[in-house]
Amino acid sequence: MFGGRCPFGHKPSDPFKEKREASTVARFRFQGEAIPMILRHADVRQAAKDWRTYSSDAPFRVPIPSEEEARSMRQLPIETDPPEHTEYRAIVEPFFNRPKHPAMIAQVERLIDGLVRDALTRDSVEVVHGLALPLQARALTYLLDTDESEADTWIGWGIHVFRVRGGLKKGVELENYLQAKFDAAGRAPGADFFSALSQAKFRGRPLTREEMMGFANLAFAGGRDTVIHTVACALGHLAANPEALAYLREDPKRITLAGEEFFRFFMPLTHIGRVCPVTTSVHGETVPAGGRVSLGWASANRDESVFPEADVFKIDRKPNPHLSFGFGEHLCLGAPHARLLLRTLLQKCVELVGSLEIVSAEERTEVEHDFERKLGYESLVLRFSPRA
């Protein structure tokens, strides 16, 4: 439903379809390494739960491409396994549960209400950098319970703190910023994320500075571009399919299901890595000890055995067991935050926006050695018109 038109004349691409239908796993080359990607929904979920076979205890190597050149510390808690992962995760969960609290929900509603109303006063708005990036950055200040003015610095880092078109960049600016924030928190602690980490303990001892940096590094790098691209894709879809906005306006209770379909259909993160501690047969593919495996989130989200008409955006799809926030022990900490942002954006569009028009669009393409995946926008200019 409401998935027939796209500004580029096609739907987000699924370069894994043929290989997924033929086999559970296929090898793709990344940074010179031929990594088997698990492609089917059930098998990806099973691997995500099996942390003993498919370990995350691999600093810098959980992202694909790996990030040894981009950062200098292990990201926490994502690059650990239970029981350490469980204990590390508990340290920061109070902050990542904030999107469930009425006070933060109200903050997000005010933020997005203001952004949409501002867009309605302009002739056009570049959505990726001009709306989605400020939305993500300012909402992150609420999540981390820090001053909203900090977002002005974060916006300057762009869509991703490590990745640029065509490769990786060093996250020196981020690391210098985090070091300064932890220095300040040590001198005068408050209630914010940096202060909480500076006072936190792990197994009875204070966190090391490297551990604090690992938590903070993930908070800024993980989920940043995925939220931004999902917001842009959602607005682009509503602009290309005006009947979708009308459908949501008829009954705003439909927004929750619609949000989940946006997360499934416009999945920005193609996959994530795991490491096999011992030589392992991965559905017939031998992975040596220390070798990596890819969990193909985007492929699993298009598995026809789970999602009938998987290549069609169905705004009312139910059930929708997508894997856009992962699965198992490492289920994304930021999932409640992302859901709150998208749900609120859709709600404000229903309340305030009469129509959206695409003025111009530059498509975004993930280019790897063995595949290209088209999804979303490098730039998207929209014209917002108010409700009558």
Ramachandran quadrant class, 313 (left: phi over 0; alpha: psi -120 to 50; beta: rest): beta
Whether 256 has a pLDDT exceeding 50, the answer reads yes
User: Could you identify the residue written with the tokens 């914010």?
Assistant: 192
Q: Determine what percent of the chain is predicted with pLDDT higher than 90.
A: 90
User: Could you identify the residue written with the tokens 């292990």?
Assistant: 74
Segment 50-56 shows an average pLDDT of 98
Q: Determine what percent of the chain is predicted with pLDDT higher than 70.
A: 95
Amino acid 163: pLDDT? 58
Nearest-angstrom CA–CA distance, 136 and 242 = 25
Residue 117: exposed, middle, or buried by beta-carbon count in 10 A (0-12, 13-18, 19+)? Answer: middle
* Average pLDDT along the chain: 94
Q: What is the pTM of this model?
A: 0.95
Whether 9 has a pLDDT exceeding 50, the answer reads no
User: Could you identify the residue written with the tokens 């931004």?
Assistant: 228
Q: Tell me which fold the domain 17-386 belongs to.
A: Cytochrome p450 (1.10.630)
- Kindly report, residue by residue over 89-105, the tens digit of the pLDDT: 999 999 999 999 999 99
Q: pLDDT grade, residue 222 (50/70/90)?
A: confident
Amino acid 172: pLDDT? 86
Segment 17-39 shows an average pLDDT of 96
The alpha carbon of residue 256 and the mean position of all alpha carbons in its chain are separated, in whole angstroms, by 18
E strand intervals along the chain? 25-30, 33-38, 125-126, 163-164, 167-168, 201-202, 205-206, 272-275, 280-282, 285-287, 292-295, 353-367, 372-386
The alpha carbon of residue 116 and the mean position of all alpha carbons in its chain are separated, in whole angstroms, by 22
- Domain positions in the chain are 17-386
Distances from the Cα of 115 to the Cα of 112, 172, 234, 367, angstroms: 5, 30, 15, 32
Segment 66-72 shows an average pLDDT of 91
Whether 363 has a pLDDT exceeding 90, the answer reads yes
Whether 8 has a pLDDT exceeding 80, the answer reads no
Q: pLDDT grade, residue 19 (50/70/90)?
A: very high
Is-contact 39 20, C-beta < 8 A? Answer: yes
Q: Which residues on neighbouring strands pair with residue 201, listed in sequence order?
A: 206
Whether 30 has a pLDDT exceeding 70, the answer reads yes
